[in-house]
Structure 1
Amino acid sequence: MAGRGGVDKNSHWDGVVPPECATDSCKIFRLNKHLEWEVAREPLHHDIDTKKTCGVGPGMSFANAVKDSAAAIGLVPCAVGGTAIKEWARGGQLYDNMVKRAKAAIDGDGEIKALLWYQGESDTGSQHDVDCYKENMETLIRNVRDDLGLPSLPIIQVAIASGDIKYLEKIREIQKGIDIPNVACVDAKGLQLKEDNLHLTTEAQVQLGKFLAQAYLKNFLARE
């Protein structure tokens, strides 16, 4: 979710921003690490996922695809790459920072419209991680809805496209099978991977953002 599109093996981002990820200084904003709003631009997570080089992710193409549905779009980047679901447990740094940032985003007249969740590759390493994934993911959903006071918060998760081949399909099956109201899933399988066979290419990140936008517009915006 943090985005590695355009980042090479030497951790250098090529700086290429596709048209679908273009900046819109009138409509698309991001909450920076200081909890201040600024114009959103790639890489969205440059000051959030600071231990790795960030490139293009799905966030900007998502925002551009849904921006006509709102007066303005506020993106709240919280992702940290290479993390397992257990690291997002309530009380941990990653989870607590996500909730803190989400609450800051709605201070005033903001409204949280959806949570986009793209994670799971780090949970394809063992049968134990597979066995715990469903419960941990469902607990995360319940906790974030409870802590934000949004019991029906729309959540769109991604069924991952890469990981340890031995357990990849098992994690994907769990992700696609989450049966909780107002939780949708889009499938990243088939999207092009980089030469590391793990991260999506820039073009694939753009396409994933469009998938997420389609899911949001179809499953949630139409209900409002």
Structure 2
Amino acid sequence: MAKQVFILGGQSNMSGRGGVHKDQWDGVVPPESAADVDMIFRLNAGLEWEAAHEPLHQGLDANRTCGVGPGLAFANALKERVGVVGLVPCAVAGTQMKDWAPGAEHYERMVKRAKAAAARGGEIAAVLWYQGEKDTFLKEDADLYRDNVEKLILSLRQHLHLPSLPVILVALASGREYMEKVRDAQKGINLPNVVCVDALGLPLQEDNLHITTEAHIKLGHMMAHSYLTHFLSQ
């Protein structure tokens, strides 16, 4: 059975910091993020499918300590409707949009991993994108944000030969001085088959940057609802 494949891109709130404190993960996995060895898989660093479990991005987000993220909660909420789910973790902490420009290392790795997932028994269903905190520090980065995201989406669709590839963007829950400018850009993307879910108001950890385990679960469910509502019937 072909897996319905979802690409997970962005920075640390996508790669998952739920339960991570002082670079240590507490190991707590909520039932909503439980592994399902028959239904939910991840593409590992060796470009092979394996049973998915938390931390989903461990070993893929540079050398960072990862915890609970939104990916497994998303997959568990979706699996009864779509069947076998394949998750392709690609997020990298601390990255700006310019780090995801076509030709840049992280972009090229994401495309490579997506193509590998498709070649190994997967049908790419959507991209889940949670990124932008790093682009809220400087006005010039915030000003370019919308154009850069639109270029990313159009390039991905071209390189994956999927001109209508669905994209679910997350509007930021945290950020610095130009957070509202970036959030406005995220909510104002003017491309077909792009929807935005708003993370604002989800609980944050003490650093006021990373969302909590509870928030990751909620966000995963929000994205699953968005996918089912906007894209499953297409």
TM-score by length of 1: 0.97
Matched, 1:4 2:2: no
Q: What letter matches 2:154 in structure 1? A: R
Written as runs of structure 1 = structure 2, the 5 A alignment for 1:26-65 is 26-65=38-77
Q: Secondary structure at the match of 1:63?
A: helix
Tell me the residue number matched to 1:215: 226
CA RMSD of aligned residues (A): 0.8
Written as runs of structure 1 = structure 2, the 5 A alignment for 1:71-220 is 71-164=83-176, 166-220=177-231
Matched, 1:24 2:51: no
Identity %: 59
Contact map agreement 2:20 2:65 (CA 8 A) in 1:
yes
Q: Secondary structure at the match of 1:158?
A: strand
Q: What letter matches 1:4 in structure 2? A: R
Q: What letter matches 1:135 in structure 2? A: D
In the aligned structure 2, how far is the partner of 1:86 from the partner of 1:31? 25
- CA deviations on 1:164-210 (whole Å, 9 max, x unpaired) are 0x211110011001011000000000000000000000000000000
C-alpha displacement at 1:47, in angstroms? 1.3
* Unaligned residue ranges in structure 1 (runs of 5+): none
Distance 1:3 1:108, change over 3 A: closer
* Unaligned residue ranges in structure 2 (runs of 5+): 1-13
Question: Relative contact order (C-alpha < 8 Å, sep 6+): which is higher?
Answer: 2
Higher strand share: 2
The ranges of structure 1 where at least 4 consecutive aligned residues each deviate by more than 6 angstroms after the TM superposition are none
C-alpha displacement at 1:108, in angstroms? 4.6
Tell me the residue number matched to 2:26: 14
In the aligned structure 2, how far is the partner of 1:188 from the partner of 1:194? 14
In the aligned structure 1, how far is the partner of 2:137 from the partner of 2:154? 25
In the aligned structure 2, how far is the partner of 1:74 from the partner of 1:159? 24
Q: Secondary structure at the match of 2:24?
A: coil
Q: Secondary structure at the match of 1:163?
A: coil
- CA deviations on 1:55-90 (whole Å, 9 max, x unpaired) are 000000000000012231000000001100000011
> How many residues of Structure 1 are paired with residues of Structure 2 in the alignment?
221
Q: What letter matches 2:188 in structure 1? A: G
